Amino acid sequence: MQIKDIGEFGLIERFARKIKNSRSVIVGSGDDCAVLTFNRQYYQLFTCDMLIEGVDFLSSANPYLVGRKAIAVSLSDIAACAGKPMHAVISLGVPKKSTLKYCDRLFKGMNDIAKQYGVNIVGGDISHSEKTVIDVSMLGLVEKKYLVLRSGAKKGDIIFVSGCLGGSILDKHLKFTPRLKEARFLVENFKIHSMIDISDGLLADLGHILKASGTGGLIFAPRVPISKVASGLNDALASGEDFELLFTVSPVEANRFFSDKRAKNFQAIGEIIEKKQGLKLINQSGKEIKISGKGYQHF
């Protein structure tokens, strides 16, 4: 059997089954961040993300934006748990033929966005590699009362998304804004049951919430906010790299959303249903739509 036979998430689950953690680990593998003990008020968040040339960006991409993205994807993970980013270490692999100008631009992109969001870059490692590889590990903090995980969705919850989806590969994936501000607004003003950032695609990431929560989901296709540069509905549902927030709230909280002008940038797109009903996509006539693609996987 090869890796491609079980896929990226199958491989992750294969490893996760063999991990045994101490009581210092509140949440381990399986969410946007690991959640660790810290003090009486806060949990510590811990995440890492790796960017590889030819997979996450092209060799022709602006190195400043590549460096920026390397930090931004971890910021997005912290946002998905409603946390505040604090510290980062960076491992960088670059070809020996790389110019100092290229490396300087990579680091400036990383350093600028780190400063923007108050992240301290506290070290890392550098090695040579065939292609550029950047791995960022990031620590954050979240108040215990505000922590949001993938596993809290409940039957009857309304599913919301921030921003517009699709077409990110054309430009947005290198320039997106991590939704830290939006996530804090959500938890400070509403009771959020579950949340994730959309990196693998709306359907795939909603699938993570449904699996972790033991529920099913219903998406109304006409309500999905499609980017102007997206090629269509399937692009918005499955292409990924949008880094928007996908979250669920009770019907009562949803009504508060609809009446709060500050929440105008969030769109209700569906409902949490029973697990046995699975994940369904419904058109305007109430009929189930068949689509191709369930999000990006590395294998």
55 and 122 housed in the same domain: yes
273: Cα within 13 Å, side-chain hemisphere: 13
Partners of 255 in beta bridges: none
Query: Which domain does 16 fall in, by range?
Result: 3-143
Asked if residue 100 is part of any domain, the answer here is yes
State which residues of the chain have pLDDT below 70. Answer: 12, 291-299
162 and 135 housed in the same domain: no
Vertex 208, ends 281 and 279: CA angle to 5°? 20
124: number of Cβ within 10 Å: 15
Asked if residue 36 is part of any domain, the answer here is yes
- Give the tokens for residue 156: 């009857």
Q: Which of 143, 169, 196 is the C-terminal boundary of a domain?
A: 143
183 and 124 housed in the same domain: no
135 and 163 housed in the same domain: no
Which residue is listed with tokens 């099913």? Answer: 216
**Mutual orientation of helices 63-80 and 100-116 as an angle, nearest 10°?**
30
Encoded amino acid at 119, one letter: V
Asked if residue 77 is part of any domain, the answer here is yes
136 and 7 housed in the same domain: yes
19: Cα within 13 Å, side-chain hemisphere: 13
pLDDT, position 52 = 97
Q: Which of 127, 143, 159 is the C-terminal boundary of a domain?
A: 143
- The domain that holds 237 is classified in CATH as 3.90.650.10
> Domains in the chain: how many in total?
2
Asked if residue 287 is part of any domain, the answer here is no
- The domain that holds 88 is classified in CATH as 3.30.1330.10
Asked if residue 216 is part of any domain, the answer here is yes
pLDDT, position 126 = 96
pTM score, whole prediction? 0.94
DSSP letter at 151?
A: G
How many angstroms separate the CA atoms of 110 and 68, rounded? Answer: 5
| Beta-sheet strand order (sheet of 158-162) | 194-197, 245-249, 158-162, 266-273, 216-220, 279-282
Specify whether the CB–CB gap between 181 and 218 falls below 8 A.
no
The alpha carbon dihedral of 175, 178, 181, 182 has a sign of positive
Asked if residue 236 is part of any domain, the answer here is yes
Phi-psi region of 111 (alpha: psi -120 to 50; beta: other; left: phi over 0): alpha
3-state helix, strand, coil in the chain (%, to 5): 35, 30, 35
- Give the tokens for residue 208: 């993570």
245 and 277 housed in the same domain: yes
12 and 136 housed in the same domain: yes
Asked if residue 292 is part of any domain, the answer here is no
150: Cα within 13 Å, side-chain hemisphere: 24
What are the backbone angles phi and psi of residue 44, rounded to the nearest 5°?
-95, 135
154 and 139 housed in the same domain: no
Q: Which of 143, 171, 205 is the C-terminal boundary of a domain?
A: 143
Asked if residue 17 is part of any domain, the answer here is yes
Partners of 125 in beta bridges: 91
200 and 277 housed in the same domain: yes
DSSP 3-state of 130: coil
Q: Which of 39, 102, 34 has the alpha carbon at shortest distance from 66? A: 102
Which residue is listed with tokens 């739509």? Answer: 289
211 and 105 housed in the same domain: no
175 and 225 housed in the same domain: yes
pLDDT, position 195 = 98
User: Which ranges in the chain belong to alpha helices (H)?
Assistant: 3-16, 63-80, 100-116, 172-175, 180-189, 202-213, 233-238, 251-259
pLDDT, position 264 = 86
How many angstroms separate the CA atoms of 249 and 190, rounded? Answer: 8
129 and 157 housed in the same domain: no
